[in-house]
A and B are shown apart, each in its own frame.
Chain A
Amino acid sequence: MDPTAFLVAPLVIAGMSAGLAALISITDRYVNDYGDVVIDINQGSKKLDVKGGANMLVTLAESGIYIPSACGGRGSCGECKVKVNSDVGPHLPTELPYLDEKQMEQNIRLSCQIKLKADVGIEVPEYLFNIKKYSGTVESIRDLTHDIKEVYVNLGDEEVSFRAGQYGQFEVPPYDKIKERTQRAYSMSSKPSDKNHLEFLIRLVPGGIVTTYVHERLKEGEKINIVGPFGDFYVRDTEATMICVAGGSGMAPFKSIFYQGVENGLFEKRDIWYFFGARTEKDMFYLDELRELDSKYERFHFVPALSEPEPGTDWQGATGLITEVLDNYLKEKISTETPKEGYLCGSPGMLDACMSVMRDNDMAEEAIYFDKFA
């Protein structure tokens, strides 16, 4: 038998597949070429000539308009809402979970789910024009715990102004199998008065693109881009008692809020309870600094809690799940008379659990604030 016979079948399959793949690429090239489109923002206040075909969120970011997006365009946070004035088709199933009836009626859309195929008119809040891409240099990286790093970025001459509690998109360059620049949202932990710096607390998430980069590759002196500031997680100007709950790197916005509080007299004005949960003592950080604030200000109460304290160590604080500790304090230690506001930062699971504890203790849902970075 002719030995080449064995080659014929694989070659035919390979050849056919290659031919069809080529056909698909050619179609893609011509059919998916939407040419140049115009994005009209706020009825003519700004007009952008951009290339069509990509999603609106990315295209706007490329033109310097940064719609807030905590998930980076994966359709899982529902933050990147814009009002669309032209017809871009019905709402997609991926958008429905994030829109209520009123928003649907106004044709509010998730900009990350909308492919730009034709000229489109949108409306966004004017303040979004202030969001910028900052480029800075990593000034220091410090290990706070075995899996949380404090990254301090120097913005050089550039000044940033943000409200304590807001977040920025931290961008890392391509590495290994990651072929494009990737952004993820992290709350700023530096105080707003430090205008030339931004600080982030970044916990290693196994398999996370940005966190892995920060923990394994990021070096002091490296250039890094940050887009921001975003978010409406900031201290509301009331006299209500603040019930703050954080876990792990959820410490970040509160560090910023409290250090600003020292400067603007927040602790003299209202009662603040800060519950911070961790598993073991090696997951705890900033203990001394916060305890110092606690003893210095009468109206500031810091309650660190360990859910699994290691036996034999002399842990001085509360033990148990943060939700149990919170429930306990809300029922027994914190006055039930005064109005309260909830401020939460942590994993989605922790947020949901704390929300339900707060609701059960008669706190108004509208007065519970949080960012969902899922």
Chain B
Amino acid sequence: MSPEINPLALFVASIFTSNILLANFLGMCSFISISKDMKSSNGLGLAVTLVLFVTAGMNWVVYNLVLVPLGLEYLRYIIFIVVIASIVQIIEMIIDRVSPRLYITLGIFLPLITVNCAILGVSLFMEIRQYSFVQSLTYGLGSGLGWWLAIMLLAAIRRRVEKAPVPAGLKGPGITVITIGFMAMAFIGFGGMLPVQ
């Protein structure tokens, strides 16, 4: 049975109180490497949101209408990844067509969304928490927006940090991870305000 949570509440929760990045620490690799630059962060945030929304829906359909009736739940990891990889491929082609500039800016990180843990994480949470179709969609979209928000915040902070006197040994990823830690603590303040399961 799906939990009785208003899809809209789930949407808000996944952006703020249970942010996929700052509460669950998923999707860190591209989060750290791309957040150097606001423009690319914005593009990647958009791409992740798009992929999350579409894959959450697709994977819900595949899981509940194909895998569950056939008793093949144990195949979910393989199937989820195959679905995600294909969706990323398709989105890649569309972005290349619609906005070649964004395509070039995202470069290698666009195909790398395939192995972004946040994407698989959302699909697995959706299955573990037994979300309904609508809940999955709002949770997927919300998580994407949450990820986008988090990377934009981090990119903005990093721009300030660049000018700050950071000890040599902490420059780059070091201070970034510490920054993320502070951000996560701030977000944890909201933890549990809205239930997600």
Contacts and interface: CB of A to CB of B under 8 A. Distances in A.
A144 B134 CA distance: 74
A27 B98 CA distance: 13
Contacts of B62: 16
Interface residues of A, number: 19
Interface string A19-46: 0110110011001100000000000000
Interface stretch (B17-25, B76-84, B153-161, B176-184): B76-84
B75 A9 contact: yes
A16 B70 contact: no
A90 B101 contact: yes
User: Which of A9, A28, A117: most chain B Cβ within 10 A?
Assistant: A9
B93 interface: yes
A13 B75 CA distance: 8
Nearest to B75: A9
A89 interface: yes
Interface residues of B, number: 21
Nearest to A88: B100
- Tell me the dominant secondary structure on chain A's binding face: helix
Contacts of B70: 8, 12
Given A9-B75, A12-B75, A117-B100, A32 B93 contact: yes
A9 B82 contact: no
Interface string B55-94: 0000000100011001010010011001100100110011
A128 to B, nearest CB: 27
Given A12-B66, A12-B70, A12-B75, A27 B104 contact: no
Contacts of A23: 86, 90
Contact of B82 (A20, A31, A32, A90): A20
A89 B86 contact: no
A31 B93 contact: yes
Contacts of A280: none
Interface in B92-149: 93-94, 96-97, 100-101, 104, 107
A27 B93 contact: yes
Contacts of A12: 66-67, 70, 72, 75, 79
A102 B96 CA distance: 28
Nearest to B99: A89
A93 B94 contact: no
A14 to B, nearest CB: 11
Nearest to B100: A89
A17 interface: yes
Contacts of B78: 13
A89 B101 contact: yes
Contacts of A28: 93
A92 interface: yes
Contacts, number: 48
Contacts of A32: 93, 97
Interface string A60-76: 00000000000000000
B94 to A, nearest CB: 6
A27 B94 CA distance: 8
Interface string B27-60: 0000000000000000000000000000000000
A149 B100 CA distance: 46
B86 A24 contact: yes
Contacts of A8: 70, 72
Contacts of A24: 86, 89-90
Interface string A86-116: 0001101100000000000000000000000
B142 to A, nearest CB: 25
A31 B99 CA distance: 12
A16 B80 CA distance: 10
A373 to B, nearest CB: 29
Given A23-B90, A32-B93, A17 B82 contact: yes
Contacts of B66: 12, 16
B102 to A, nearest CB: 10
B82 A16 contact: yes
Nearest to B91: A27
Contacts of A92: 104
Contacts of B104: 89-90, 92
B75 A31 contact: no
Contact of A13 (B79, B94, B96): B79
8 contacts: A8-B72, A12-B67, A12-B79, A13-B78, A27-B94, A31-B93, A31-B96, A89-B100
Interface of B: 62, 66-67, 70, 72, 75, 78-79, 82-83, 86, 89-90, 93-94, 96-97, 100-101, 104, 107
- 6 closest residue pairs by CB, A with B: A20-B86, A31-B93, A27-B90, A89-B100, A31-B97, A24-B89
